[in-house]
Structure 1
Amino acid sequence: MHFTAGFVSITAALLTTVGAMTAPEVVANINIITGQSQALQAPANSINLLSGPLFLIGQGPFPQIVVGFSQIITTVTDDIQAMQGQQPFSVMSDEQSILDAFTTFVEVHQELLNILIGKAGILNDLPLVGPPVAQVLRSLEGVVDTIAFGLIAAVPDVSAPFTTQKNALDVTIGQAIAAYTPAV
């Protein structure tokens, strides 16, 4: 399933006017973000010694990765706006489906981040590559935290395991940021 950023933005705008999202809509939005993260795994896996010099001329996998993370940030930002005023869900199966979707997102996103962490050592000698990657990861961290806190508030019966997933993802994002932040 492939959705364009425009479709997601239109969907988010429509949901904002309605005022509340259903659990299936929340799950669908999380699944879109999961798909975007999964799509970045192939470019991340293709990072090699030539990726750094290619990045400096706008080629290779890094531009695609940075743009992909920027698209994820846009999608999550749209979802945050769509969830404004979201009331907590009161049906346990709704809460569990949201937790399950978020857990899958965390697993897929951590896999992507771990690929990037593992590839960072290849580029230690190219300090111009790390800062743009670290910058987009910092932005990603901010929007993921914002939506996670909103979702935690919306699923009170499963907030503890949801918080555990959020915290695990925070650790991995922090490691990825550190891996791409040049030593001073």
Structure 2
Amino acid sequence: MLFSKIFAAGALMATTAIAALSPAQIADGLKRVTDLSQQLQAPAQSITIVNAPLIVIGQGPFPQIIRGLTEIVTTASVTIAQLDGTSPITAEADATLIFNAFRAFVRVHQALLNILIGKAGIITSVPVVGQPIAAVLRQVEGVVDTIAIGLINLVESRSQDLTSEANSLGNTLDLAIQKYEGLQLNI
């Protein structure tokens, strides 16, 4: 996820406007996703070698985490659909509002991802959790990329700051995906 390279590609995306968002609505959308990520930190902290295998029967923390990450994808997708019709943000106060909301999301989501990264190390003997978590993290990565590109294109005055935050989150997402992809059944 190198946003500096795909910055220009975002400008070329087709724009079919469903609805435009105000800066406050963009910040609210980011806050909703931030709150969802925050809510997943406790279940992620509760992962143990004892409860991790319960994923096989739909119990334990992993099904809740997968549902929560899927909800993040769904919620973020709604905001993404509406970004296309949004006019560029030129007022500095609006740009700062959006940047601060994105930065808060990055911090909270990185905290969640770092918990998951740490827990991957203790559940290496439970490889069945790897692929479902890696798959949903790839979906999260897709919406994070799309939101970041959209915001970078909308908020030109903060594009470097947004790019920096997006790259930081992208690196953490990449590491989390690698950790869970690495948990595989050795048959």
Give TM-score scaled by structure 2 length: 0.87
Matched letter for residue 86 of structure 1: T
Q: Deviations over 1:70-96 (max 9, x none)?
A: 000000111111112222111011001
What corresponds to 2:108 in structure 1? Answer: 108
Higher relative contact order (CA 8 A, sep 6+): 2
Following the alignment from structure 1 to structure 2, what is the Cα–Cα distance between the partners of residues 51 and 173? 24
Following the alignment from structure 2 to structure 1, what is the Cα–Cα distance between the partners of residues 61 and 30? 25
Following superposition, the deviation at residue 124 of structure 1 comes to 0.5
Alignment of 1:126 with 2:126, yes or no, is yes
User: Superposition pairs for residues 84-99 of structure 1, below 5 Å?
Assistant: 84-99=84-99
The SS at the match of 2:47 is coil
Following superposition, the deviation at residue 183 of structure 1 comes to 5.9
Following the alignment from structure 2 to structure 1, what is the Cα–Cα distance between the partners of residues 154 and 51? 41
Alignment of 1:33 with 2:33, yes or no, is yes
What corresponds to 1:13 in structure 2? Answer: none
Following superposition, the deviation at residue 54 of structure 1 comes to 0.9
Following the alignment from structure 1 to structure 2, what is the Cα–Cα distance between the partners of residues 67 and 104? 22
- The runs of at least 4 consecutive aligned structure 1 residues that moved more than 4 Å come to none
Following superposition, the deviation at residue 53 of structure 1 comes to 1.5
- Paired positions, count: 168
Give TM-score scaled by structure 1 length: 0.88
Following the alignment from structure 1 to structure 2, what is the Cα–Cα distance between the partners of residues 106 and 183? 25
User: Superposition pairs for residues 156-175 of structure 1, below 5 Å?
Assistant: 156-175=156-175
Bigger mean CA offset, 49-58 vs 59-68: 49-58
Superposed CA RMSD = 1.2
Aligned CA distance change for structure 1 residues 183 and 40 (closer, same or farther; 3 Å): closer
Following the alignment from structure 1 to structure 2, what is the Cα–Cα distance between the partners of residues 183 and 124? 6
Following the alignment from structure 2 to structure 1, what is the Cα–Cα distance between the partners of residues 92 and 51? 46
Q: Which runs of 5+ in 1 are unaligned?
A: 1-15
